[in-house]
Amino acid sequence: MLFYLNLQKSLKKRLIKKMSKSTTAYKTISEVVKLIGLKSKKGQSLPTHTLRFWEKEFKQIKPKILNGNRRYYDEKNIRILKKVHFLLKEQGMTINGVKKILNDKEPLKLDETSNNSIKANILINKLTNISEIIKSLKRLK
């Protein structure tokens, strides 16, 4: 019985491994929303409408549209969507500002380390400002 359970677990792991998508495979719109980390304000559904809006606004985003208007995104489109998300949502840029950056000839590299370093710099500046305010409040006593 124990042998059978171990064999079943082993087969299940292999099946899951084979069924999981390759990182280079095309992704559906809902998979991309999860990958990017988009969240609706109410937190109930995936905001796929945001990606469709960005497709209209940014000419660089061109998913494959197959089988009754189903969208499939490749790695290039996902990278562009990550940049758009970062610049709009985390850096607070406008759509026109992001368009200018995407239309620039120089590629904008936003890997994980640069995202973290930008966030860290913003946090350091805020903490410095807070500590200066605390110091000035202590002097008033």
Helical ranges in 20-62 per DSSP H: 29-36, 48-57
What confidence tens digit (pLDDT) does each residue in 111-122 have?
A: 544 555 556 667
Q: Chunk the chain into consecutive blocks of 10 residues (it has 141) and report each block's average pLDDT, rounded to whole numbers.
A: 61 57 80 87 80 93 88 92 89 88 70 53 82 89 72
With the CA atoms of 21, 113, 125 and 94 taken in that order, what torsion angle do they form, in degrees rounded to the nearest 10? -50
pTM of the model: 0.60
Confirm if 85 and 91 have CB atoms less than 8 A apart.
no
**84: exposed, middle or buried (C-beta count within 10 Å: 0-12, 13-18, 19+)?**
buried
Q: What pLDDT, on the 0 to 100 scale, is given for residue 17? A: 52
Confirm if 105 and 112 have CB atoms less than 8 A apart.
no
Confirm if 47 and 39 have CB atoms less than 8 A apart.
yes
Q: What pLDDT, on the 0 to 100 scale, is given for residue 113? A: 44
What confidence tens digit (pLDDT) does each residue in 9-27 have?
A: 666 666 555 555 666 789 9
Confirm if 87 and 93 have CB atoms less than 8 A apart.
yes
